[in-house]
Amino acid sequence: TFVDQELSAAELERTFIAIKPDGVQRGLISDIIARFEKKGYKLVAIKLVHPTKDFAEKHYDDLKGRPFFNGLTDFLSSGPVVAMVPPPPPSQSMSNHTADPQVWEGQGVIKYGRKFIGATAPLASEPGTIRGDFAISVGRNIIHGSDGPETAKDEIALWFKPEEILSYKKETDKWLYE
């Protein structure tokens, strides 16, 4: 059906979101999840993990060599992290392109997730964004989100086993999209 095609297309664009140890410690789990949930994004995987230093270094592999790398990976491995994968719900515009997955790159949850999160430096983040509303320092910016389709794929594979990612329909999709 039309809806089934849209759902399978939507699955092609998933992002990886993590609430870092500072967000967990500060009691911001529910506020952060609520923003994605209320927007209409569907959560397909979630767990509480305390990453090892080694795992944190893998996650931030692209930043190896930066002066803050050691502090950043110490920090990420300092306590529990909420790891999540919300893909977007189906949308009308996506339904025209179900045959070509590459059309989705940059659309939907990856890009919008980054908008929700705000700039890396919280003081440069707009009010209304997660970092803009809840954080001050760049090294304590409470949330991580994949920055593109490739990193999303890699990060999801690093943090989750395939069987931990669920596929299900939400009845509310029909109230979100015409």
Binding residues: 20, 68, 114, 120, 131, 141
Question: Are the CB atoms for 43 and 86 separated by under 8 Å?
Answer: yes
Could you give the CA distance from residue 86 to residue 121 in angstroms, rounded to a whole number? Answer: 23
Active site residue 59: no
Interacting stretch for Mg ion, rule CB under 5 A, among 42-50, 66-74, 100-108, 145-153? Answer: 145-153
Q: Under rule CB under 5 A, which residues in 13-52 are in contact with Mg ion?
A: none
Gyration radius from the chain CA atoms: 16
Binding residues for Mg ion, rule CB under 5 A, total 1
Residue 40 or residue 132: which is nearer to Mg ion going by CB? 132
Residue 91 or residue 151: which is nearer to ligand GDP going by CB? 151
Could you give the CA distance from residue 21 to residue 56 in angstroms, rounded to a whole number? Answer: 12
CB of 147 to ligand GDP, least distance (A): 5
Which DSSP state fits 19? E
Rounded (5°) CA angle 161-55-85: 40
**In the chain, what is the greatest distance between 2 CA atoms, to the nearest angstrom?**
52
For binding to ligand GDP (CB under 6 A), which residues are involved?
63, 68, 72, 120, 138-139, 141, 144, 147
CB of 177 to Mg ion, least distance (A): 29
Binding site for Mg ion (CB under 5 A): 147
Q: Which residues are catalytic?
A: 144
